[in-house]
Chain A
Amino acid sequence: MMSDRQIIEGCAKHERKAQQVLYDKYSRFLLGVCLRYARDKAEAEDILQDSFLKIFFNIKDFSGTGSFIGWLRKVAVNTAITHYHKNLKYRYHIEIEEYVSVETGVTSFEEDFFTSDELYMVLNELPTGYRMVFNLYAVEGYKHKEIAEILGIDTNTSKSQYSRAKAVIRDKLEKLGKLRSSYPENG
C-alpha cells in the first residue's frame, strides 16, 4: 500500500501506477463531493473525470502542507463550479412555485432519520443555483461573500438563495418523513 506521499510523488512523475492508486483510493470520496453539485450521477461522473485530470496535471502544485484530501476536495469543488459556469446557459429558469415556501414546520432533524442517499436525492432535485449556494455554504463552509464572488452573483442573492434552498430542502425532507411514517418499516 502506497502512502499519500508516495502517491503524490509518483503522480508528479506521471507514473501510471501512482495515478491508478490515487484514483482507487479517492475516487469514491470525490464522487461523493461531485454528486452534491450535480443533477445526477452521470453529471457527477463527468465532473469527477475532469477533477482527476486537474489533479493529475497539477499535483505538483500541492504544497504538501495542509491535508491532501482537503486539497483534492477543493479541486473537485472548483471543477464543479467551472462545470456550473460552463453549463449555465443550459439551465432552465425555475418556476416561481419552486421557491415560494412557507417557513414553518420542523427546524430540527434527527441525524439518522435520513440516509445519505436520500439527502443526495434532495440535493439533486434542487435548482442548480440553489444547489451550488447550499453546498458551498452549508457543507463546504464558504462565506456568502466568497460564494458571491465564486458564482458571480450578489452577496444578497447568495443569502436569499441559501435560505430559499433551505426552505425547499426542509419541505422535501418533511414530505419524505411523512412518507416514511405512513409506511412504517414492517420488515
Chain B
Amino acid sequence: MSIRELFRQKLENAEIIPDASVSLKLMRKLARREFLRFNPARFNIYYLGGILVAGITASLILFSGSDKSGERSPLPVSGEFSKTDSTIYINVPVELTVTQKSDKLNENAFESIKNKPIIRPKVEPGKEPAQNIESRENNSVTHTGVNDSFSKKGLFTEASLDKNKLQRGFRTDEVLFETSATKGCTPLKIRFYNKSNSYDSCRWTFGDGGYSNEKNPEWIFDVEGEYKVVLNVFGSDGRRATSSSVITVYPKPLARFEIAPEKAVLPEDEIRFFNYSTNAVRFKWDFGDGSTSELFEPLHKYAKFGNYNVGLVVSSEYGCSDSLVAFSSSEYFIDFPNAFIPNPEGPIGGFYSSKSDEAAQVFHPIFSGVSDYQLKIFSKLGILIFESSDTNIGWDGYFNGQLSNPGVYIWKARGNFRNGKPFIKMGDVTLLRN
C-alpha cells in the first residue's frame, strides 16, 4: 500500500473526540455572532432579550443621568436596533500603554541609560512660582522663614499669623532647614535637614504632592520644575513655625541617535549619525575607533574594517548629562541572499564588488569576522556545481561555462569565525533570469 493510499484509508474518515470546552466556546461564539448579525426575519428571543436589556439600560441612564449631572447623553440604543445590519459599539475605557521603541539601536544600549525606577506617588510639578529668582540663583538658597520674635519660646509663631506675610518672606532672619542641594537634574535626590530644635512634630511638603513627617527626609524629584518645599514645625502648645525654600529641578537631557548605514562597506561608505537627543546643547561622540567629534550630527568614515561601539554623551545648558552607547549587534555573522540574477552575457568569475552586488549578479554572503569558510552549491539533483573557499568569490550562476537553468539551488556554507566559533549554514537560493 502506498503512502497516499495508507493515509487516505486511515485518515479520510478518522474521528477525533474534541475537548468538551470546544463545544462551549463554539456556542458562546455562535451566540455572539448571531446577536451581532441582526436580521428582522430571524428575530428571536436573543434580540428580544438584547432589546430589553438595552431598553432598561437606556432608561436607567436617562433617569440616573437627570438625577446626577445631566452631562451624559443617553446612548442611542433604540436607533441601533432599528437598522437591519446594525453594529453595536460599546465604549470600553481602554488604557493605552505607550512603549518607547528602541529605534534601530541595540537593546543593550538602552540598559545603561534607563532610569532606575522610583516608586512613589507621581504628581505634576507644583506650579508655585519662585518669588525671587535672582536671589535664588545667586545665593543658591533663599529661605522665607518666619521665626517668632513675639513668642516667648523663640521659634514658635502664633498659628494665626497671616499666611501672606510668610510667603512674602516677611521675616527671614531665621531659617528652619537646610538642604543638600537646591537645584539639579532629574531625578534630583535631596536630603532636607530640619535645623529647628524644641518642637514636637514636623511636616514637610515638597511641592509635588509628596509630604513627610520625618525629621530629615530625603526626597527625589523626578519631574522638572520649581518646587516650593515647606516645613511646618509644631509645638505641643499649638504654636507653629513655617519655613520654605525653592528647589529647581532641571530637565535631564536624553541622548538618542541612529546610525545609517549600520553596515558599511569600506572604503566608500561614510557613516551618518542622526541625532535625536533632547534638552541638550553639547554633544560628544565617541566613534569607537579612537576618534571623537563634538558636532551635532557628524559624518564619520572608518579607516579599518571592524565592528565599532558608538557612544554619545550629551549635556544640557544646566550641566545635566546623559549618554547612550550603541553596541555593534553582532560581531560575527554570515548571511546569504535567497535569490540572484546572473549576468546573461557570460561568466564573470564570481568576483563581486559593491557595483555588481547592486545588480545581484553573484551569489555571495555578507559577513563579518569570518576567518575561514567553504561554500558549496548543489543542483536539485544533488550535483555539486560550485565550490569556493574565498569569501570574496561567489557563484556567478555558471557551471562549466554554461549559464545554469533558473530555479532553486541548494547551498551549504561552513567555516569558522575569528572568535573560534564554527558555523554551518544551509539554505536555498533561486537563480533568476531577467
Chain A residues close to B by CB (< 8 Å): 14, 19-20, 23, 27-29, 31-32, 35-36, 41, 44-45, 48-49, 52-53, 56-57, 95-97, 100, 107-111, 114, 116, 119-120, 123, 134, 137-139, 141, 166, 169-170, 173
Do the beta carbons of A27 and B22 come within 8 Å of each other? yes
Choose, from B24-32, B178-186, B325-333, the stretch at the interface.
B24-32
Q: Which residues of B contact A100 (CB under 8 A)?
A: 410
Which single member of A32, A116, A173 contacts B3 (CB below 8 Å)? A173
Q: Which residues of B contact A36 (CB under 8 A)?
A: 11
Do the beta carbons of B22 and A32 come within 8 Å of each other? no
Q: Which residue of A lies closest to B14 (CB)?
A: A32
Do the beta carbons of A53 and B29 come within 8 Å of each other? yes
How close is A107's CB to chain B, nearest CB, in angstroms? 7
Whether, in the assembled complex, B67 has its beta carbon less than 8 Å from a beta carbon of chain A, the answer is no
Do the beta carbons of A96 and B16 come within 8 Å of each other? no
Q: Which residues of B contact A45 (CB under 8 A)?
A: 18-19, 22
Whether, in the assembled complex, B389 has its beta carbon less than 8 Å from a beta carbon of chain A, the answer is no
Q: Which residues of A contact B26 (CB under 8 A)?
A: 23, 48-49, 52-53
Do the beta carbons of B426 and A111 come within 8 Å of each other? no
Q: Which residue of B lies closest to A36 (CB)?
A: B11
Q: Which residue of B lies closest to A156 (CB)?
A: B407
Do the beta carbons of B8 and A139 come within 8 Å of each other? yes
Q: Which residues of B contact A35 (CB under 8 A)?
A: 16
Whether, in the assembled complex, B4 has its beta carbon less than 8 Å from a beta carbon of chain A, the answer is yes
Do the beta carbons of B15 and A28 come within 8 Å of each other? yes
Asked, given contacts A41-B16, A53-B29, A96-B410, whether A107 binds B22 with beta carbons under 8 Å apart, the answer is no
How close is B28's CB to chain A, nearest CB, in angstroms? 10
Which single member of A48, A57, A116 contacts B33 (CB below 8 Å)? A57
Do the beta carbons of B16 and A108 come within 8 Å of each other? no
Q: Which residue of B lies closest to A97 (CB)?
A: B426
Do the beta carbons of A14 and B6 come within 8 Å of each other? no
Cα distance A27–B24 when bound, in Å?
13
Do the beta carbons of B3 and A44 come within 8 Å of each other? no
Which single member of B17, B34, B428 contacts A14 (CB below 8 Å)? B34
Q: Which residues of A contact B10 (CB under 8 A)?
A: 111, 114, 116, 119
Do the beta carbons of A28 and B3 come within 8 Å of each other? no
Cα distance A23–B19 when bound, in Å?
12
- Best-buried of A20, A109, A123, A173 by chain B (most CB within 10 Å): A109
Cα distance A141–B4 when bound, in Å?
10
Do the beta carbons of A109 and B426 come within 8 Å of each other? no
Do the beta carbons of A49 and B22 come within 8 Å of each other? yes
Which single member of B3, B33, B410, B426 contacts A169 (CB below 8 Å)? B3
Asked, given contacts A109-B1, A139-B12, A170-B3, whether A28 binds B18 with beta carbons under 8 Å apart, the answer is yes
What's the tally of chain B residues with a CB closer than 8 Å to chain A? 35
How close is A153's CB to chain B, nearest CB, in angstroms? 13
Known: A48-B22, A139-B12, A141-B8. 20 other contacts (CB 8 A): A23-B26, A29-B13, A31-B16, A32-B14, A32-B16, A49-B22, A49-B29, A56-B30, A96-B426, A100-B410, A108-B1, A109-B2, A119-B10, A119-B11, A120-B14, A137-B4, A166-B3, A166-B4, A170-B3, A173-B3
Can you list 29 residue pairs at the A/B interface with Cβ under 8 Å? A14-B34, A28-B15, A28-B18, A29-B15, A32-B11, A35-B16, A36-B11, A41-B16, A44-B16, A48-B26, A49-B22, A49-B29, A52-B26, A57-B33, A57-B37, A95-B426, A97-B426, A109-B2, A111-B6, A116-B10, A119-B7, A123-B7, A137-B4, A138-B4, A138-B7, A139-B8, A139-B11, A139-B12, A169-B7
Do the beta carbons of B15 and A110 come within 8 Å of each other? no
Asked, given contacts A14-B42, A56-B30, whether A28 binds B17 with beta carbons under 8 Å apart, the answer is yes
Asked, given contacts A45-B22, A138-B3, A169-B3, whether A32 binds B13 with beta carbons under 8 Å apart, the answer is yes
Q: Which residues of B contact A53 (CB under 8 A)?
A: 26, 29-30, 33
Cα distance A48–B426 when bound, in Å?
37
Q: Which residues of B contact A137 (CB under 8 A)?
A: 4
Cα distance A137–B23 when bound, in Å?
30
Whether, in the assembled complex, B44 has its beta carbon less than 8 Å from a beta carbon of chain A, the answer is yes
Q: Which residue of B lies closest to A173 (CB)?
A: B3
Cα distance A50–B25 when bound, in Å?
11
Do the beta carbons of A32 and B15 come within 8 Å of each other? yes
Asked, given contacts A53-B30, A97-B426, whether A111 binds B15 with beta carbons under 8 Å apart, the answer is no
- Best-buried of B13, B14, B25 by chain A (most CB within 10 Å): B14
Whether, in the assembled complex, B40 has its beta carbon less than 8 Å from a beta carbon of chain A, the answer is no
Q: Which residue of A lies closest to B34 (CB)?
A: A14
